[in-house]
Structure 1
Amino acid sequence: MGKKILHILSQIPDATGSGIYLQAALRHAAECGFENTLLAGVPVHSNHHEKLTLGAANFCPVYFGEEIPFPVVGMSDVMPYPSTRFSDLSPAQLEIYCHTFERKLEDAVERWQPDLIHSHHLWLLTSLARRKFTEIPLITSCHGSDLRQFHTCPHLQERVLSGCRDVDIVCALSEIQKLEIAQLYGIPEERIRVVGAGYEKRRFYQPQEKKHSDRPQLLYAGKLSRAKGVPWLLQALTQLPAGSFDFHLVGDSSGPEKEEILALAAPLGDAIHIHGKLEQEKLADLMRASDIFILPSFFEGLPLVLLEALACGCRIITTALPGVSELFSGIESERVELIDLPQMIAIDAPHPAEEELFVADLKQTVETQCAHLAKTNADAPCPKIDALLKDYTWGGIFRKIERLYLELTDSAE
């Protein structure tokens, strides 16, 4: 039997970028002979383990709505399901949250006796795991949302730092993120390794022949939130000529931001197709049928969805976030177009004076990419994009993670 790994995630393990990352890690770890177990936060009466590559016997759920008597606390302030924000937790709720995860983590470690813990997010659960189990090697994947919470919840910083600064190895998404982690958490750079993130090439791939419809097919997939730039994208699209495109809106959220986005979508009429949350297989099919993928986000680490869309043959329009700019730094192709970020008044909120210009930039870039589609060589191969995608398959990414697993477990023996 291979080394035993306890994976831990404080939220639903199949609904966001970190959940997709976790699922890939579970799948590839199993293929490489590791024995996986998982502790994760889920709503009561959910069956999320059925979507994972491990049975119920290897899954330790922490039930929100029962053991923790409020909705799942999300690493993003807007989640694609009913959730609670860390910034809104009362002191009593925070103690219930931490005590419950501590108790369930102790149970999981006693039951499974892991050789290694792989946690997700440099946040409260990781800090707890480090403080409680100093003798078990701990590797942590940073996803970017944890860094945002660090900025927006200063009252939790000391609790987070008390354990996170002693993590054995941190997996960063980019060189820029590595520097930010070192600065915020005081973790030596030699303990922070740039691993990146990947896409599943078995699921996300180009069709044998890209078929274009009469109108360009535009696609957004992600949370329906202001932080993702969705309201400004919708404003830009309403300024385009009616009947000149179809726009597919994939994703979900809840609360006022979702209501605002749906209200902004209404004027698009028949041009907009609201899909809600899609399973990965259906999203991949939609990507293969789409021409242009648009992600106007104000804050990301390394958005997996960009790699997935690119692998399916989509052109890319996205904001020039640090990690994104690093990812595409060697790509000189009209198939990838970066838009300058507006001046920000918060980590994921644009300055009101910059909003009109941002909308205009989005509109112009969409028009430019639609014009490129009309060219006879619009789908010509791009060797640099092909090389990039080859480097960012999950198989390649997990080989880096596996080396870190073995580095930690071998040194612990």
Structure 2
Amino acid sequence: MKILSITAQKPHSTGSGVYLTELVKNWAEAGHEQSVIGGVYEEDQVDFPDGVKFYPVFYQTEALPFAITGMSDEMPYESTCYKDLTSEMLGQFREIFCRTIEDAVRELNPDVIVCHHLYLLAAMVREWYPGKKIIAICHGSDLRQIEKNTLEREYIKERIRQLDGVIALHREQKKEIERIFQVKEEKIKVAGVGYNDKIFFQTGEKKEKKESFQIIFAGKVSEKKGVCSLLRALSYLPYPKEKLKVVLAGGHGPEEEYEQIQQLATECRYPVQFLGMLSQAELAEQFRQSDVFILPSFFEGLALVNIEAMACGCKVVCSDIPGMKDWFEENVPGEQITFVKLPRMENTDEPVAEELPAFEQRLAEALRQKLEQTEEETPQLSQISWRKISECVLR
């Protein structure tokens, strides 16, 4: 089969980028002919298997003179919010992607086009290629974007309804896709997520009871990912300063917000280390050195990073994102993630301020229980693989 994968943003960064890259790698191993289109900067490096042709769309150039459009308002690299696109910027976006996709379609003549995110570019591709089989993969952030941002909203919804198929990460997300886009139920299939067991694994050394602990967060170091709440929650923990260390792995959003997070970290009782963006191998090593992984996010798709952390031997604490708990219970036998009830939310991903203290106390209690838990059943991850996900998507 000939497959063209398309994303408007970087193909290797963020959860959706990892998803795209892993699908492409597994389809290459299965012998499919492929091309990829992604939005990058001229200095960026891409890493796809031999034989996969990459068509870059370069941002911050004369043809596209602004930063990469980010599906989240805070990306881990320089980005432009979709809500800030002017009509001129939108025209430039449309023109350069149309020209690049036209080149790729002419050269590859794909049997199927796979768009990542149920959003603007997927809608455009549907418009441009009415005779092609086109599916799109939902990553969660696209649902938040369409709910919060009026940019081309009705145009996007109409074209998404016309797709040949939509891939959801879990059943709750499938319901949201039906509600928001009015996509027919039979067009939406649930595929889940996989993980790379060649990178994320335990060394085989049994973790012994220690005198000190390490907590790790991985993701965008931002308020929407719950990092501010995490840092405040640490004040409720009962341990002396030397017994606990916290590491934050990932890029960050706006400088002003990042400075506020850094200030919270300096005021924290426990040492907080900012690791910045890590490669997957570097992140896996940090997981292996840590005791508990925490993801206190206010909005997520399915949080692949939970699986990666578990695979490396971390206990996991995660905010109770709708649909996530059910998926893990059904697909990961032996998982013992502690899901923490979210505060009441407004405007999709904004917590009600007066409910944050109680949420942060719940986070602290969940962390304390995990840190003091001596043994935990090993989760069975053998059924969670990118190979199976890639086969599922093509089916």
The TM-score, its normalising length taken from structure 1, stands at: 0.90
Alignment-derived partner of residue 178 in structure 2: 182
CA apart distance, 1:402: 2.9
Q: Which amino acid aligns with 2:53?
A: N
Deviations 1:184-227 (A, max 9, x none): 11110101000111111121112201335431111100001111
Deviations 1:37-56 (A, max 9, x none): 0111111x22332x22246x
**For 1:30-179, what aligned pairs fall within 5 Å after superposition?**
30-43=28-41, 45-49=42-46, 51-54=47-50, 58-66=53-61, 67-179=63-175
1:402–1:272 distance in 2 versus 1, CA, 3 Å = same
Distance across 2 between alignment mates of 1:48 and 1:142:
25
- Once the two structures are TM-superposed, the CA of residue 72 in structure 1 deviates from its matched residue by 0.4
2:204 alignment counterpart: 208
Query: What is the match of residue 6 of structure 1?
Result: 4
Paired with 2:336 and 2:393, the residues of 1 have a C-alpha distance of: 30
Contact preservation (8 Å) 2:72, 2:81: yes
Aligned partner of residue 318 in structure 2, secondary structure? strand
Tell me what 1:401 maps to: 393
Equivalence for 2:227: 230
Distance in 2 (CA, whole Å) between partners of 1:69 and 1:78 is 19
Shift of 1:335: 3.7
Asked if the contact 2:219/2:251 (under 8 Å) is kept, the reply is: yes
1:246 alignment partner in structure 2: 245
What amino acid maps onto 2:387 in structure 1? G
Deviations 1:107-145 (A, max 9, x none): 221122212111100111111111111111112111001
Q: Output the CA distance in 1 between the equivalents of 2:183 and 2:367.
A: 41
The residue aligned with 2:325 is: 325
Partner in structure 2 of residue 406 of structure 1: none
Q: Is the 8 A contact 2:235 2:269 kept in 1?
A: no
Partner letter of residue 48 of structure 1? Q
Measured against aligned partners, the alpha-carbon deviations of 1:74-132 in whole angstroms (never above 9, x if no partner) come to 01110000111001112221221122211221122112221211110011111111111
Counterparts in 2 of 1:344 and 1:270: CA distance versus 1, 3 Å: closer
* Per-residue CA distance 1:150-171 (angstroms, 9 max, x = gap): 0111232112123211111111
Q: Give the corresponding residue for 1:411.
A: none
Q: How much has 1:272 moved relative to structure 2?
A: 1.7
Q: State how far apart, in whole Å, the 1-side matches of 2:252 and 2:162 are.
A: 34
Tell me the equivalent position of 1:264. 264
- Opposite residue 320 of structure 2, the aligned amino acid is A
Superposed CA RMSD in Å reads: 1.8
2:316 is matched with 316
* Residue in structure 2 matched with residue 339 of structure 1 by the alignment: 340
Q: Counterpart of 2:146 in structure 1: which amino acid? A: F
Q: Which amino acid aligns with 1:278?
A: L
Decide whether the 8 Å contact of 1:224 with 1:257 is kept in 2.
no
Contact 1:300 1:323 in 2 (8 A): no
Q: CA deviation at 1:341?
A: 0.6
Q: How far has the Cα of 1:269 moved from its partner?
A: 7.0
Shift of 1:324: 1.5
CA distance in 2, matches of 1:270, 1:172: 39
1:333 deviation in Å?
6.6
Distance 1:294 1:125 in 2: 33
Once the two structures are superposed, the pairs formed by residues 347-358 of structure 1 within 5 Å of their partners are 347-358=348-359
Query: Is 2:234–2:269's contact at 8 Å kept on the other side of the alignment?
Result: no
Q: Is the 8 A contact 2:28 2:34 kept in 1?
A: yes
Unaligned runs of 5+ in 2: none
Report deviation, 1:358: 0.9
| Alpha carbons of structure 1 residues 59 and 360: separation in structure 2 relative to 1, 3 Å | same
Distance 2:19 2:152 in 1: 25
Larger mean Cα displacement after TM superposition, 238-247 or 216-225: 238-247
Which residue of structure 1 lines up, in the alignment, with residue 18 of structure 2? Answer: 20
Q: Are the counterparts in 1 of residues 328 and 335 from structure 2 also a CA contact under 8 Å?
A: no
Contact 2:77 2:251 in 1 (8 A): yes
Q: Secondary structure at the match of 2:124?
A: helix
Q: Secondary structure at the match of 2:268?
A: helix
Q: Give the partner amino acid of 1:183.
A: R
In structure 1, runs of 5+ residues without a counterpart are: 404-413
- State the AA in 2 paired with 1:125: L
How many residue pairs were aligned? 389
Percent of aligned pairs with the same amino acid: 37
Q: Counterpart of 2:157 in 1: which secondary structure?
A: helix
Contact 2:236 2:361 in 1 (8 A): no
On the 8 A contact 2:244/2:270 being kept in 1, the answer is: no
Q: Residues of 2 paired with 1:124 and 1:285: CA distance?
A: 37
Q: Would the aligned equivalents of 1:223 and 1:251 in 2 still touch at CA under 8 Å?
A: yes
How far 1:270 sits from its partner (Å)? 6.5
**Whole-Å Cα distance in 2 between the matches of residues 223 and 208 of structure 1?**
30
Offset from partner CA, 1:54-74 (integer Å, 9 cap, x none): 46x711111100121000010
AA partner of residue 17 (structure 1)? G
What is the CA–CA distance in structure 2 between the aligned matches of 1:154 and 1:101, rounded to whole Å? 21
